Structures are given as C-alpha cells and as structure tokens.
Amino acid sequence: MTKADLVDRVADGGELSRRQAGHIIDLILDHISDALKQGERVALTPFGSFVVRSRKAREGRNPKTGERIKIAARNVPAFVAGKALKDAVGGARRK
C-alpha cells in the first residue's frame, strides 16, 4: 500500500475529500516525526509504537575496496508492533 492508497481509503472511510485526507495523514506523520526527533516514544495502542534506538559507533568495510571505515554512532527510528497487529498478521510464536 502506498501513501496515495492510504489517502484514498481514509477519504472513502471518513467521507472526506482526498485533499482533506491527505492533509490529515501529513499532519499525523509530521507529529510522529517531531516526537521522535525529541526522543519521545509514540504509542498507538493496540497498533504499535515508534521509538528511537541508539546505535553504537562501529567499524565497517567499504564493499568496493575492502578498506576499513568508522561508522559513527547515531539514532535510528524503529517500529515495535503491538499484540493486536501481530495477531492480525498471524504472528504466532513458535515454541
């Protein structure tokens, strides 16, 4: 599903114009991004949570030359699926 598909579905389901639905989706994504930039966790119960994870600095290799390079520490966004989403997708755990 693309963003355009999502806009169409929200517009149809909410009896909104495509423009209004697109604006709402853009606002939601902007607010999620802003919260993550501030290091906050965004929980959309029971769908899941968006979090910021820290990656440590590490050493890597340039695949072209094989030369060793240093990869700086950084923060990366991550998504943790909620139980309802896992169950909906069929994510039963193996024991």
> What confidence tens digit (pLDDT) does each residue in 39-69 have?
999 999 999 999 999 999 999 999 999 999 9
Q: What is the pLDDT of residue 94?
A: 62
- Listed in order, strand segments (DSSP E) in the chain are 42-44, 48-55, 58-61, 68-71, 74-81
Architecture in CATH for domain 41-95: Irregular (4.10)
Mean pLDDT over residues 18-34, rounded?
97
Which residue is it, tokens 């989706």?
25
**3-class SS of residue 90:** coil
Check if the beta carbon of residue 31 is closer than 8 Å to that of residue 50. Answer: no
pLDDT category at 38 given cuts 50, 70, 90 is: very high
Structural domain boundaries of the chain?
1-39, 41-95
Q: What is the pTM of this model?
A: 0.77
Q: What is the pLDDT of residue 60?
A: 95
Q: What is the pLDDT of residue 90?
A: 86
